[in-house]
Structure 1
Amino acid sequence: MSTTEKSWGGPLSPLSSATVRLFCVPYAGGGAAVFRHWPALLPPTVAVSAIRLPGRESRISEPPLADIGQMVAAVADDLAATAATGQPYALFGHSFGALVAFELAREMRARDLPAPRRLFVSAHRAPDADVGTPPIRDLSDRDFLDKVIRYGGMPQEVLDSPDLLAMVLPALRADIDAAEGYRFVSGAPLDCPISVFGGRSDSVTPQAQLYGWRSHSVAEVEVRLFDGGHFFLHDNRTAVATAVGAALEVSP
């Protein structure tokens, strides 16, 4: 079965009582499990669906994609089906996932489909900002992992298991390749509100880089900081999920 024949947005919580569906895109190398705790932390009106990228978890047998445009085109087909029902939806992405979520919102507009109720971009600079750091995608596995470990993005249990590491590494490398190969194409700002989340101690995405998102929507763009580094998403899981739930409850 090809990647386009799979469902890309797997629900983690019931859809029946929800008034809005939240599609979550994980960070580089991550899978749906990143958001497994969120259904219990969000109000029942928010149904959580995790974007399931190939090359990990239930899709481990599929080759990972190394191009954000290909990911967006495939995921947008699932989003289009949700939009066609008239149910409001929102997008959340952390780090690499923030870029994917942003481009998903733009792809929905290009298809003349409803915009997300709100776009949440977490731990990532504005898409048109200078990267400022040298690429790592061409490094040897050892040097590549050394860089990833410095970001704090690799669980110790994975590092301690050669078998797990061998399973995770291809998807991680593909996501980094996609992120470093991304080139922003200028276009009109979005018309949905954007919530920008950042970590107060994040050395990968310093606070100053978050404010560039303000030029990417004609609607409200709010910046909110949380205690923690680049992966405050885990360190402050409850606070992040609570902020997401509150923002969706007040969104039009």
Structure 2
Amino acid sequence: MGRWISTWPSSPDDEALPALLCLPPAGAGCHQFRAWTLALAGIGQVYGAQLPGRENRWREPMPETFGEAVEAIADELRPVVAGGRPLIVFGHSFGGLLGYEVARRVRPAALVVSACRAPRHWDGAGRGIVDDDEELDKLFDTPGLDPAFLDEDTRALMVAMLRKDAVLSLSYTHRPGTPLSVPVHAWRAADDETVTEEDLAGWGSVTAAAFRVHRVHGGHHAVLRHPEALLEHLAGLLRHTAAPADTT
């Protein structure tokens, strides 16, 4: 697709389907979402937002500001939705914040976030990760990987990437403006100590449309570790956006 957005088509007809943009958590790449193409085959085409410094972009320097990353993702996304192609934006943790700002620039059919505090609660949120190694170790928990089985060099690279994303998040300042005009769905796991109920409820203020809360069991990355309920939800949203409008 491009430098900032990857896709993994499962059939030649995918471009006629609604699009799902997935934004990963801090320190992670987007290729974890490739596995979702099977679950959503024939329902939607999966795209992943890929920041520099990881996976196929690991040699590239990080953007200087959060806004620079958002604008780059939005610029590559605009041709995807050209002509009215439906789009759902999903982001997990730090990816949810990116997804929100992308949604402000490229109007999707819905925004879905998980394990993510509301934008007005993000200012300075990455400070502990940047300044405190113990805090960083507590949050180092990449979906699909058990840190205990990583060699020292690999772990060091991933921790460095997580810290860089935390630095990037510190350049973010929420500037309230016109609320989104699309539904927002916020997911939270019961044992997620990094996102409080207040953080979750704050998402209701970013949209003038419907706001829904979804809850699961587990910790911060539970939604990605066991994505079955989320994938069912995303499939429903994609099917809804693809349905012809009722003209009766």
- Greater Cα shift, 202-211 or 180-189: 202-211
**1:13 and 2:5 matched:** no
Is the 1:226–1:236 contact (alpha carbons within 8 Å) kept by the matching residues of 2? Answer: no
Q: Counterparts of 2:27 and 2:124 in 1: how far apart (Å)?
A: 22
**1:139 and 2:131 matched:** yes
Is the 1:228–1:236 contact (alpha carbons within 8 Å) kept by the matching residues of 2? Answer: no
Q: Counterparts of 2:238 and 2:211 in 1: how far apart (Å)?
A: 14
Q: Counterparts of 2:3 and 2:150 in 1: how far apart (Å)?
A: 32
Q: Secondary structure at the match of 1:78?
A: helix
- Greater Cα shift, 52-61 or 123-132: 123-132
Q: Counterparts of 1:132 and 1:73 in 2: how far apart (Å)?
A: 21
Q: Counterparts of 1:203 and 1:144 in 2: how far apart (Å)?
A: 12
CA drift of 1:134 comes to 7.6
Relative to structure 1, the CA distance from residue 159 to residue 68 in structure 2 (aligned partners, 3 Å threshold; closer, same or farther) is farther
Q: Counterparts of 2:190 and 2:228 in 1: how far apart (Å)?
A: 16
Q: Secondary structure at the match of 2:208?
A: coil
Cα shift readout 1:146-201 (whole Å, capped 9, x = no counterpart): 2324xx34733476312212332332112111223321001010001111111122
Q: Counterparts of 2:154 and 2:229 in 1: how far apart (Å)?
A: 30
Matched with 1:190 is 180
Q: RMSD over aligned Cα, in angstroms?
A: 2.4
Q: Counterparts of 1:105 and 1:229 in 2: how far apart (Å)?
A: 26
**1:227 and 2:224 matched:** no
1:1-252 correspondence runs (5 A): 6-14=2-10, 16-17=13-14, 18-65=16-63, 67-108=65-106, 115-129=107-121, 135-139=127-131, 142-143=133-134, 145-149=136-140, 152-153=141-142, 155-157=145-147, 160-251=150-241
Q: Counterparts of 2:208 and 2:224 in 1: how far apart (Å)?
A: 30
Aligned residues, how many? 239
Structure 1: which amino acid aligns with 2:139? V
Structure 1: which amino acid aligns with 2:146? Q
Q: Counterparts of 2:168 and 2:148 in 1: how far apart (Å)?
A: 22
Relative to structure 1, the CA distance from residue 133 to residue 10 in structure 2 (aligned partners, 3 Å threshold; closer, same or farther) is closer
Q: Counterparts of 2:34 and 2:120 in 1: how far apart (Å)?
A: 31
CA drift of 1:133 comes to 6.4
Structure 2: which amino acid aligns with 1:16? D
Q: Secondary structure at the match of 1:224?
A: strand
Matched with 1:112 is none
Q: Counterparts of 1:117 and 1:170 in 2: how far apart (Å)?
A: 35
Structure 2: which amino acid aligns with 1:148? L
Q: Counterparts of 2:131 and 2:199 in 1: how far apart (Å)?
A: 26
What percent of counterpart residues are identical? 31
Is the 1:137–1:180 contact (alpha carbons within 8 Å) kept by the matching residues of 2? Answer: no
Structure 2: which amino acid aligns with 1:120? V
Relative to structure 1, the CA distance from residue 95 to residue 138 in structure 2 (aligned partners, 3 Å threshold; closer, same or farther) is closer
